[in-house]
Amino acid sequence: MSDIFQNVEPMVHESRISVPYHWWAGDTASRFFIDLRDSQKIMGTRCSKCSKTYVPPRKTCPTCFTPNDEWREVASQGTLISYTVVRRHQASLPKKPPIIYGLIQLEGADTAVLHIIDELKPEDVKIGMKVQAKFSSQRKGTMFDIEYFRPVH
């Protein structure tokens, strides 16, 4: 079938569009990021009906669809529930590979947060290990106010 390309001169038109976006974090996420930035606190929302604490916080419970307006602080330490090691570089990655991505269930939360795991070699990562948030010294109100999670020794 490859002879369909015989005598085809590929004519390519390059895009000159640049479409930058900015996103409003919104009511619930703003409160989370302000607490993270100003007090190094990790806050979740509590659904009393489901008895679940959500981090990231929700305005509405994803399970029962009732408003969640009770805020609760969770620990900055938790358990690694899954991970992967990204080996190949892509422009969209925040730093050079290998990067360990982890899903961390913080103590007091029922859902996991997604972040980078550092201060250990990729071959030493284990599901079930305890990790601790390392807060950034320059905090701007984003998820990178936690620089990464590191093993608890």
64 binds, among Zn ion, other proteins, none (CB under 5 to 8 A by kind): Zn ion
Q: Are strands 99-106 and 70-74 parallel, antiparallel or unpaired?
A: unpaired
34 binds, among Zn ion, other proteins, none (CB under 5 to 8 A by kind): none
Q: Return the closest-CA partner of residue 71 out of 36, 19, 21, 118.
A: 36
61 binds, among other proteins, Zn ion, none (CB under 5 to 8 A by kind): Zn ion
Structure tokens at 14: 């390059």
Site for other proteins in 69-128 (CB under 8 A): 81-88, 90-94, 101, 103, 111-116, 122, 127-128
Alpha carbon distance 111, 52 (integer Å): 8
Contacts of 148 (CB under 8 A, 6+ apart): 115, 116, 117, 118, 119, 134
Q: Is 25 in the site for other proteins (CB under 8 A)?
A: yes
Contact residues toward other proteins (CB under 8 A) are 1, 4-5, 8, 10-12, 15, 17, 21, 23, 25-26, 29, 56, 58, 62, 81-88, 90-94, 101, 103, 111-116, 122, 127-128, 142-144
